[in-house]
Amino acid sequence: MAKTKKLFAALTRRGPHRVLRGDLAFAGQPGVVYTPESGFNLPGIAFGHDWLTGSDRYAGTLEHLASWGIVAAAPDTEKAFAPSVLNLAVDLGTTLDIIAGVRLGPGKISVHPSKLGVVGHGFGGSAAVFAAAGMGSRLKTAAALFPAVSSPPAEQPAAGLALPGLILRASADSSSLRSNADALAQAWTSSTLRIVNKGESGGLVEGRRLAKAVGLPGADKGTQKAVRALLTGYLLFVLAGDKTYRDFADPEVTLPKTVALDPAAEQPTLEDKVVALLKG
């Protein structure tokens, strides 16, 4: 465990690679891509944003992944008040096609087609689940960070997923009407659910947030720091195959800045959440 704590601490900081930023629009897809300065056959992920946000609100997280050798791209679509989770899922797939299909940067960067994953935050977390279901065996993993309820529900495609996955939620999400993290974890049997200690479900978004006007929380540096380490370690093992980070994908290991799950705890139903909200 001491070794894992040291790895976690290192992963909260930027990695050894210098980072380059590019524009996905050159391939017809609005969005951004962050890469290490060089490297062939790298792992790559497409990142889906939360409701009423965009790729610019995750620059620090995308840069962080790239600094550890992971190509991270994010489509900049479906940012309206009533976005389509299915359309964002398609855009995540298109983004992966782009980064895996062309040489990036000055021609010294490539993504291996068997080292691909999708990641999303909030609304984008549910979109990542739909993207994973649609892409099937082309993907190696998916991660839903504080996923949010969507229409149609992401639990439906999640039930058919066999690939390994990571789901992160805040402690308060168990009683939140917006969160579907517990339902996703129950449907997606090959996923690992982790509770981020003192995490805020909206805290991964960087900078000032328009959605604060409708009650969604703003940036939280503690949440960002913990999530970046948890996600990076997980992807380095599952996508890059680095066994040093095996514990980050082991559901039996309680990682730093997470709370151990209580398997005996009964998950609240939607009715329980509504009652709790009315009482509050």
Residue 208 reports pLDDT greater than 90: no
**Rounded Cα gap, residues 255 and 3, in angstroms:** 11
pLDDT average, residue stretch 45-57: 95
The average confidence (pLDDT) of the chain is 90
Q: How confident is the model at residue 175 (pLDDT cuts 50, 70, 90)?
A: low
203, pLDDT greater than 80: yes
Is the pLDDT at 166 greater than 60, yes or no? yes
43 pLDDT higher than 90: yes
Express each pLDDT in 70-81 by its tens digit: 999 999 999 999
Question: CB neighbours of 245 closer than 8 A, spacing ≥ 6?
Answer: 7, 233, 234, 236, 237
Give me the mean pLDDT over the 16-37 stretch. Answer: 95
Return d(Cα 124, Cα 247) in angstroms, integer.
26
Confidence of residue 263 (pLDDT cuts 50, 70, 90): low
Residues of the chain with pLDDT > 70, as a percent, come to 89
Q: What is the pLDDT of residues 59-69, one digit of tens each?
A: 999 999 999 99
Tokens at 165, concatenated: 């996955």
- Residue 113 sits in a domain whose CATH number is 3.40.50.1820
The answer to whether the beta carbons of residues 141 and 115 sit under 8 Å apart is no
Which pLDDT band holds residue 2 (cuts at 50, 70, 90)? confident
Q: How many domains does the chain have?
A: 1
Q: What is the pLDDT of residue 277?
A: 37
Q: Which of 248, 273, 279, 253 is nearest to 180 (CA)?
A: 273
Burial of 277 (0-12, 13-18, 19+ CB in 10 A): exposed
Q: Which of 86-90, 109-113, 177-181, 188-192 has the lowest mean pLDDT?
A: 177-181
| Nearest alpha carbon to residue 123 among 183, 177, 52, 63 | 52
pTM for the predicted model, two decimal places: 0.91
Cα dist. 49→40, 124, 163, 279 in Å? 27, 5, 22, 31
Percent of the residues in the chain that have a pLDDT greater than 90, as a whole number: 80
Owning domain of residue 67:
1-279
